[in-house]
Amino acid sequence: MADSESKVSNFIRNIIDADLAAGRFASVRTRFPPEPNGYLHFGHAKSICLNFGLAQDYGGACNLRFDDTNPEKEEQEYVDAIIDAVHWLGWAWGENQYFASDYFQKMFEFAEKLIEAGLAYVDSQSAEAMRATRGTLTEAGKNSPFRDRPPAENLDLFRRMKAGEFPDGAHVLRAKIDMGSGNINLRDPAIYRIRHAEHHNTGNTWCIYPMYAYAHPIEDALENITHSLCTLEFADQRPLYDWLLTKLAELGCVNTPLPQQTEFARLNLTYVVLSKRKLIQLVDEKHVDGWDDPRLPTLIGARRRGFTPEGFRRFAEMIGVAKSDAWIDMSVLEGCMRDHLNETAPRRIAVLDPVKLVIDNYPAGQEEECLAPNHPQKPDWGKRPIPFSRELWIEREDFVETPPKGYFRLFPGNKVRLRYGFVIECTGCDKDADGNIVAVHCNYFADSKSGTSGADSYKVKGNIHWVSARHAYTAEVRLYDRLFAVEAPGMGGRDLLDDLNPNSKIVITAQLEPALQDASAEARFQFERHGYFVADRVDSRPGAPVFNRTVTLKDSWTKEK
Ligand code: ATP
Ligand code: MG
């Protein structure tokens, strides 16, 4: 437990510490239980880091369990994608990978035991009748006319349900608890339904499927989970969770100590939506380019965007877990990515909005190398040569004819340093017939090269980056920004789609330093003065990488607010 003590404590750690101190459990076992009906999103990352992180810190284990009890929406494609995403986040689970559907036979046998013990019955009311007799928050429910069916009759009907004798909806199996309970979840909840549907794992073996509220506690108990962590909306289900497991333990179906459910606040993040339903809408209606669109808050989207697993883990650690809902600002997540990328991404030069700079007094055929550090704070990462020649690409915004106050970059008569290169003095510009600037002119000072003894005698305020035109790698670069333009998309009665940020993806042709042509897919860089970029893992080809902007160097959103 030494490791866990170095972490910031939280109410879940306190519970675990107390349980271990009281000897309730010998070791900690958690689980991450996704339903394979979609791609994982940033909210899942919180749950993953929490469950796997606690298991790691306490020297326990965390299971990856696919909660695949609903045959209609689940697919192998999602199972594979979930495995990839959890691995990508850096977690491993060895042999501890399970499917809820592997327990269907046990769940069925346990249901038979509940029936025999008079704790479950087959209800043959219509769905409407069941809804009508359920009661309300202030009013008790009414007993079903089938509630007192004798166990033998229930058992026979339940087995015939399994055998496929009845159509969907003809009967359900309900736990027999208390129609007068103040907690609606305890008013004889349905635990099995008939569904003639093929399941991705069990095929057509079953035509009855357990309800989530029945299946989940059994899954936890069969896997000897100690702490079953879920989001707050399941708090009302906890009494049912405990009732079922207590009864099943008394019937000898499951082992003690029983798992204990603890709820925590789900992640709510500004400027995105974290609901599968809304994500599906964005993908299906083609507002984004598929599930791995770098703007989507899916983990495969984040990976393409250049977000890092370490950044997510840092984020999870930073936001912690709490017992009440709160919103986390997107800038917190972006800040975690920036911090990690700042430490790990080599620096490179890119001109995103290029205009030519001609050094008129530099000989046309000549070229030489300048040296640029790979990381300003890490001299051990060394320097790389970048070619210099008479014609360079510079940023269009680094030249103006008439400078506003405080502008220190290029304008006629002004001197600036070409970063890692020479000091130049601007002499003017060329324009086309429409008055657009097509080239900027300057002269250089041959004794001013960075790193040489003469360099220090030049004092200039401006320092601009550049790429040799003859050597540049011309590449597609996607400038991604936040998908939504407002903090809470689709809230307050607005249409989600009206809140989309029209500038969330801008594709440009940029001029990059030649070394970037060799970048392998997923290599991450800081493009100096611009931000962090990644070679796209889908569209890059060897020798022809395409770059995605992960995040800008500074947070422009918080400032604008
Ligand atoms: P959604 O609400 O987006 O449809 P879900 O809860 O239905 O997601 P599951 O596959 O059931 O998705 O979730 C797997 C686990 O991830 C559950 O334990 C769930 O509580 C947790 N989880 C889902 N969304 C969040 C979130 N926003 N913050 C923290 N945990 C989450
Ligand atoms: Mg769910």
Query: How do residues 417-459 score in pLDDT, each as one tens digit?
Result: 999 999 999 999 999 999 999 999 999 999 999 999 989 899 9
Contact predicate 70/37, CB 8 Å: yes
Are 332 and 413 in the same domain?
Answer: no
Instruction: Respond yes or no: is residue 266 known to be catalytic.
Output: yes
Are 531 and 552 in the same domain?
Answer: yes
Cα separation, 248 vs 112, in Å, equals 11
Distance 35 CA to ligand 2 centre (A): 6
Distance 12 CA to ligand 2 centre (A): 21
270 within domain boundaries? no
Are 304 and 362 in the same domain?
Answer: no
The domain spanning residue 299 has which CATH number? 2.40.240.10
User: What are 93-121's pLDDT values in tens digits?
Assistant: 999 999 999 999 999 999 999 999 999 99
Query: What percent of the chain lies above the pLDDT cut of 90?
Result: 95
3-state secondary structure of 163: helix
Total of domains in the chain? 3
* CA dihedral over 190, 192, 194, 198, signed as positive or negative: positive
Are 447 and 502 in the same domain?
Answer: no
114 within domain boundaries? yes
User: What are 346-393's pLDDT values in tens digits?
Assistant: 999 999 999 999 999 999 999 999 999 999 999 999 999 999 999 999
442 within domain boundaries? yes
269 within domain boundaries? no
Q: How far apart are the first and last CA of the chain?
A: 44
* CA dihedral over 339, 276, 503, 292, signed as positive or negative: positive
- Nearest C-alpha to atom 27 of ligand 1 is from which residue? 43
Query: What does the pLDDT read at residue 73?
Result: 80
Cis peptide before 545 (omega within 30 of 0): no
Distance 14 CA to ligand 1 centre (A): 23
Query: What does the pLDDT read at residue 96?
Result: 98
Query: What does the pLDDT read at residue 2?
Result: 41
Catalytic residue among 106, 142, 195, 266: 266
Are 288 and 250 in the same domain?
Answer: no
Are 71 and 102 in the same domain?
Answer: yes
Q: What are residue 430's DSSP bridge partners? A: 439
Instruction: Respond yes or no: is residue 193 known to be catalytic.
Output: no
117 within domain boundaries? yes
Are 83 and 112 in the same domain?
Answer: yes
271 within domain boundaries? no
User: What are 483-528's pLDDT values in tens digits?
Assistant: 999 999 999 999 999 999 999 999 999 999 999 999 999 999 999 9
* CA dihedral over 133, 138, 139, 143, signed as positive or negative: positive
State the average pLDDT for the chain.
96
Decide the pairing of beta strands 227-231 and 208-210.
unpaired
Domain that holds residue 313: 276-346+475-560
332 within domain boundaries? yes
The domain spanning residue 213 has which CATH number? 3.40.50.620
pLDDT band, very low/low/confident/very high, at 557 (cuts 50, 70, 90): confident
Point out the domain boundary residue: 206, 230, 264.
Answer: 264
Nearest ligand by distance to the CA of 64:
1
For residue 429, give every residue at least 6 positions away whose Cβ sits within 8 Å of its Cβ, in sequence order, or none. 399, 401, 412, 437, 438, 439, 440, 441
Point out the domain boundary residue: 465, 498, 524.
Answer: 465
Q: Report the Cα 114 to chain-centroid distance in Å.
A: 40
Mean pLDDT of 289-307: 98
Question: Token digits for 130?
Answer: 């069941």
470 within domain boundaries? no
Are 342 and 357 in the same domain?
Answer: no
Are 247 and 327 in the same domain?
Answer: no
Are 174 and 312 in the same domain?
Answer: no
- Tell me, yes or no, if the pTM score tops 0.85: yes
Are 206 and 310 in the same domain?
Answer: no
Are 368 and 486 in the same domain?
Answer: no
Point out the domain boundary residue: 218, 241, 264.
Answer: 264
Question: Token digits for 344?
Answer: 């790990």
